[in-house]
Amino acid sequence: MMNLFSSFDPMTTPMNMSLNWISTFLGMLLLPFTYWLHPNRLSIMHYIPMNMLDKEMKILMSNKEASLLFITLFLLIFYNNFLGLFPYIFTSSSHLTFSLSLALPLWLSFNLYGWINNMVHMFSHLVPQNTPPMLMPFMVLIETSSNLIRTITLSVRLTANMIAGHLLLILLSSTSTKLNLLLTPMLILPQILLLALESAVTIIQSYVFTVLSVLYSNEVN
């Protein structure tokens, strides 16, 4: 690590090869072989929260069969966020390349499906109910702008939250080398609390990204 931001650089490997992106699939390698045997304790522990998430997704969704897609999206983001908490592992979700590659195809597919199959329904979303006639042109511009920036808000929200917490961890750990040995234990407690906060952020950001994607998909049906 040559500088503060090198932990978010996908090109820090030898020979200028972006091998850091292998961390995106590292979670599959860490799963024990017994995970694929059904039933077992690990699969049951995994099934219970996913079943709760599936029920919540089906409440929000008009198309109940598509819940598996969004649960898979949740797991992909969560595993990559969680793996980034380990030292010397590249956090792929802190890079816009990762978050944009998830948000942009979702946004494009939702809008293409909506404008091709439900054009009248999509036009009705541009003007909310009970809007005064004088404000209708402005509401169309505002709703169009909010629809266009959804890809940016989805991706930047995930990236910014992951970068912010990891930078705080790096800043605290870098100051420990310059502190007195008597003051070093006082730095451990804030780091533990911040690590616990980052663990919660990994789940929250995965959940927010998935739920917003579900809500956007409902607007095209």
The whole domain housing 135 covers 4-218
Q: Which of 59, 57, 87, 73 is nearest to 158 (CA)?
A: 73
- The rounded distance, in Å, linking the Cα atoms of 161 and 207 is 13
Q: Compute the C-alpha angle 52/57/60, nearest 5°.
A: 135
The pLDDT tens digits for 89-127 are 778 888 888 899 999 999 999 888 888 888 887 877 788
Here the tokens at position 181 are 């040995």
- The rounded distance, in Å, linking the Cα atoms of 42 and 35 is 6
* Interval 133-140 mean pLDDT: 82
More confident residue, 177 or 85: 85
The structural domain count of the chain equals 1
The pLDDT tens digits for 38-75 are 677 777 777 888 888 888 888 887 766 778 888 889 98
- The rounded distance, in Å, linking the Cα atoms of 141 and 102 is 26
How high is the mean pLDDT of the chain? 80
**CB 46, CB 34: distance < 8 Å:** no
- The rounded distance, in Å, linking the Cα atoms of 139 and 132 is 10
**CB 89, CB 23: distance < 8 Å:** yes
